[in-house]
A = this chain, B = another copy of it.
Amino acid sequence: MNKKYQVVGIGNALVDVLASADEDFLADNGIGKGIMQLIDMERAADLYDRIGPAQEVSGGSAANTIAGIAHLGGRTAYVGKVKDDQLGRIFAHDLRAQGASYETSFADGEVPGETGRCIVLVTPDGERSMNTYLGVTEFLTPDDIIPEQMAEAEWIYLEGYRFDGPESHEAFAKAIRATRSAGGRVSITLSDPFCVERHRVAFREMIHSDVDLLFCNRAEMLSMYETNDFDAALKQAASEVAIVACTDSEHGAHILAGERRWHVPAIPVDLVDATGAGDLFSAAFLWGLTHGYSLEDCGRMGCIAASEVISHIGARPETSLRKLFERHHVL
């Protein structure tokens, strides 16, 4: 079987607005450090007025993952909603220019708001604090899911953030049905501990019944199972999902499959901007998985890709990940 797409991602289509800020700025503006907060248009405009000079780079968590897989040469598609405005055209351009298929129709002109954006404030320690104005990307509905496209996916990759919207739950359910019935598999990322907090029940139901591969980090894992016992949470997840890939910042990542378990180390690097670390871990892992590599090597590739993306501003790779894999002897 050679499906048209190795991975189809579904998520929030956002343009990142990247600016530097210090800890005082975060405190003065009520911004939670290291997490993602949803903000409305008014707050977005107000915050934008306060931040320093910025640069705009296409982002969106699952979109970064899909861009990363495409960068590696994988066959990918993306589903997410933008408007036919300048930022929306930038988002579409960058994804297609990276080699991904992106055919989601523009949000209707009558849908309120503009293309979504994420104001990412990077503190001197390289940590990023995200303030997301969803805009039209909130309005992803089941109509945006083309069953024929899902049937052409070896894997779909669902972004937990998109659980913030009831119609998107239905969209995910439709995507899962279409993928499964054509023999494809389902992966999901939990996105953020507060996102897990908001959607724990829905996440757990979906993971239990539909997910073949779970991506998360330590904080999300602990939030999911409402425990402080990381090891117990990992085992619990592994009892429900075929493959668990849980990142753990500078401690690398834990990969579990049934009774088997691997730990892969992080690659030491000068942290410039943590944006996209998890997204690129997923990208490299899924690329490895769909190209016949061992789960352990998939995890190693994930850590290498994450190290690349945190060594510069922006959440998409700027140097050849393949060359980095070769340098680390996983290719």
Map CB proximity to B onto A101-119 as digits: 1 under 8 Å, 0 otherwise. Answer: 0000000000000110000
Q: Residue A87 at the B interface, CB < 8 A?
A: yes
Copies of this chain present in the complex amount to: 2
| Contacts A53-B94, A86-B86 known; 19 new A-B pairs at CB < 8 A | A48-B93, A49-B93, A51-B97, A52-B98, A53-B67, A53-B93, A53-B95, A53-B98, A54-B90, A54-B93, A54-B94, A55-B55, A55-B56, A56-B56, A56-B57, A56-B90, A85-B85, A85-B86, A86-B87
Q: Residue A316 at the B interface, CB < 8 A?
A: yes
How many whole Å from A133's CB to the nearest CB in chain B?
Answer: 12
The chain B residue with its CB closest to the CB of A49 is B93
Q: Residue A314 at the B interface, CB < 8 A?
A: yes
A86 to B115, CA, bound (A): 10
The chain B residue with its CB closest to the CB of A48 is B93
Q: Residue A168 at the B interface, CB < 8 A?
A: no
Q: Residue A58 at the B interface, CB < 8 A?
A: yes
The chain B residue with its CB closest to the CB of A16 is B55
How many whole Å from A37's CB to the nearest CB in chain B?
Answer: 20
A67 to B54, CA, bound (A): 12
How many whole Å from A294's CB to the nearest CB in chain B?
Answer: 30
Map CB proximity to B onto A35-54 as digits: 1 under 8 Å, 0 otherwise. Answer: 00000000000001101111
The chain B residue with its CB closest to the CB of A93 is B48
| Total A residues in contact with B, Cβ cutoff 8 Å | 25
Chain A contact surface mostly: mixed
Q: Are A53 and B316 in contact (CB under 8 A)?
A: yes
Residues of A within 8 A of B (CB): 19, 48-49, 51-58, 67, 85-87, 90, 93-95, 97-98, 114-115, 314, 316
The chain B residue with its CB closest to the CB of A85 is B86
Question: For residue A49, which residues in chain B have a CB less than 8 angstroms away from its CB?
Answer: 93
Question: For residue A85, which residues in chain B have a CB less than 8 angstroms away from its CB?
Answer: 85-86
